């Protein structure tokens, strides 16, 4: 079974929060066909309603909030039973499993983000963690859309997912409201290769386009997040030493060049529509096992580090938020905003037995709250 725990670079987009409770009066109003934005998390008051049958424990699921349906959707992931093919939605109070006649192949580390151009959540990429076939490869490299209750597959002329995606390739994705495009950042790797820079792709609702940049994003990118304040995508990058030829390890760029430069601290870049602009140096310490993830929250972007601490983007820097409660540290949990404006976190990888968690937490801007359960988790559908 394949598991993750990378010191520099990697993944994200996933889940978080909760402990006290919800009544009908504590949920957001019903949503229509226009995107709804909750700018202030709804405070949690009183005990939370127990979840009867939560999802199976996992990490590295694809998770995102759909403002049209008010659903926070979670697809797939990696579990003790292998990769998962299931689709779940969180409505602000409980989890519901969905069954679509047509659905993507099981995978972990898939990418999911809302795109107004297609009126739904776009899914692409991931790793089936099993022997593949031309049909499975085409499925993983295809662009899928979740529209409230069904999956459909889009026909695009191009895909950002390389043919050898299962060989050391990883990616992140977020929606850039300023340019009205999805931004995907992919990093290739492999034995004896020191990757200098990430590729940047954009999706306009119809097709994918690889962007040729004069200054590419460093390959140690760890999370991509939409900053609700500006609508722009932020890329948080781990520090690194200058890349050089060491033994049999060959850089993908010229040692001493700009692309091979060292980064002394965690560095944040913003997508301007045609390039990545550095906007901050400093903030959350370098990720070792892997962050929980990043998400939009109200009018901000937030990063949840592997120790489950919350960092809020102020527009110029990262600020650590205090909390009276803190969940168990973890990596690669499902993390996204929910319809009540709270941060939802589910599961994650703890690097020791039982390896994968199946707990649901909510952050209301002041503290984490654990959502209780009243029954066993759903089975691991395969």
Domain ranges of the chain: 35-371
Q: Which DSSP symbol is given to 248?
A: T
Residue 323's pLDDT band (cuts 50, 70, 90)? confident
Q: Indicate whether 117 pLDDT > 90.
A: yes
Name the band, by pLDDT with cuts 50, 70 and 90, for residue 289.
confident
Specify which residues 270 forms β-bridges with. 234, 277
Instruction: Return all residues near 279 (Cβ < 8 A) that are at least 6 apart.
Output: 234, 268, 269, 270, 316
**In the predicted model, is pLDDT for residue 33 greater than 70?**
no
Q: Find how far residue 6's CA is from the centre of its chain.
A: 16
**Rounded to 5 degrees, what are φ and ψ at 157?**
-75, -25
Domain 35-371 has CATH 2.120.10.80: yes
Q: Which whole number is the average pLDDT over 37-50?
A: 89
How high is the pLDDT of residue 298? 86
The gap between the terminal CA atoms of the chain, to the nearest Å, is 15
User: Please, which residues bridge with residue 120 across strands?
Assistant: 115
pLDDT of 32 above 60: no
Which DSSP string do the residues of 52-102 spell out, in sequence order?
A: SSPPPP-BS-EEEEETTTTEEEEEEEEETTEEEEEEEEE-SS-EEEE--SS
Question: What residues pair up with 360 in beta bridges, in sequence order?
Answer: 371
pLDDT band at residue 37 under the 50/70/90 scheme: low
Span 8-27, pLDDT tens digits? 333 333 333 333 333 333 44
Q: What is the dihedral of CA 209, 211, 216, 222, to 10 degrees?
A: -20
Of 17, 133, 13, which is closest to residue 76 (Cα–Cα)?
A: 13
Identify the pLDDT of residue 5.
37
Share of the chain above pLDDT 90, in %: 81
Range with the poorest average pLDDT among 8-12, 143-147, 170-174, 205-209:
8-12
On whether the pTM is more than 0.75, the answer is yes
- Partners of 17 in the β-ladder: 362
Structure tokens at 382: 């395969």
Q: How confident is the model at residue 122 (pLDDT cuts 50, 70, 90)?
A: very high
Query: Please, what is the Cα angle at 50 between 44 and 53, to 5 degrees?
Result: 135
Average pLDDT over residues 224-230: 94
pLDDT at residue 230 greater than cutoff 80: yes
Find which of 39-48, 75-84, 317-326 is predicted with most confidence, using mean pLDDT: 75-84
pLDDT at 175: 98
pLDDT, tens digit (0-9, with 9 covering 90-100), for 290-320: 999 999 998 899 999 999 999 999 999 999 9
Q: Are 171 and 185 in contact (CB under 8 A)?
A: yes
Query: CA-to-CA distance for 91 and 337, rounded, in angstroms?
Result: 11
């Amino acid at each position: 079974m394949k598991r993750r725990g990378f010191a520099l670079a990697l993944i994200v987009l996933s889940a978080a929060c909760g402990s006290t409770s919800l009544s009908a009066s504590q949920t957001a109003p019903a949503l229509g066909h226009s995107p709804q934005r909750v700018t202030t998390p709804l405070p949690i008051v009183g005990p939370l309603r127990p979840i009867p049958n939560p999802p199976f424990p996992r990490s590295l699921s694809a998770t995102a909030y759909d403002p049209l349906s008010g659903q926070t959707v979670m697809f797939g992931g990696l579990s003790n039973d292998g990769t998962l093919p299931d689709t779940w939605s969180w409505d602000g109070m409980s989890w519901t499993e969905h069954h679509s006649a047509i659905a993507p192949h099981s995978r972990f580390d898939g990418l999911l983000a809302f795109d107004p151009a297609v009126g739904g959540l776009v899914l692409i990429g991931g790793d089936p963690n099993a022997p593949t076939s031309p049909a499975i490869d085409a499925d993983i490299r295809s662009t899928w859309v979740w529209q409230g209750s069904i999956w459909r597959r889009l026909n695009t002329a191009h895909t950002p997912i390389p043919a050898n995606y299962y060989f050391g390739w990883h990616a992140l994705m977020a929606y850039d409201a300023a340019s009205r495009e999805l931004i995907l950042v992919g990093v290739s790797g492999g034995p004896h290769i020191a990757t200098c820079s990430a590729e940047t792709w954009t999706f306009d609702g119809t097709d994918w386009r690889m962007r040729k940049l004069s200054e590419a994003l460093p390959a140690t990118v760890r999370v991509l997040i939409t900053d609700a304040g500006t609508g722009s995508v932020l890329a948080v990058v781990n520090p690194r030493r200058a890349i050089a030829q060491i033994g049999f390890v060959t850089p993908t760029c010229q040692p001493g060049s700009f692309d091979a430069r060292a980064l002394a601290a965690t560095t944040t870049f913003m997508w301007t529509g045609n390039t990545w602009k550095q906007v901050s140096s400093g903030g959350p310490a370098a990720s070792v096992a892997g962050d929980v993830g990043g998400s939009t929250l109200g009018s901000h972007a937030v990063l949840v580090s592997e120790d489950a601490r919350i960092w809020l983007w102020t527009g110029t820097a990262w600020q650590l938020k205090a909390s009276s409660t803190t969940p168990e540290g973890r990596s690669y949990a499902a993390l996204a905003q929910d319809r009540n404006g709270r941060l939802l976190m589910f599961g994650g990888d703890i690097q020791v037995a039982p390896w994968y968690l199946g707990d649901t937490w909510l952050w209301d801007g002041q503290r984490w709250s654990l959502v209780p359960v009243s029954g066993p988790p759903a089975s691991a559908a395969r």
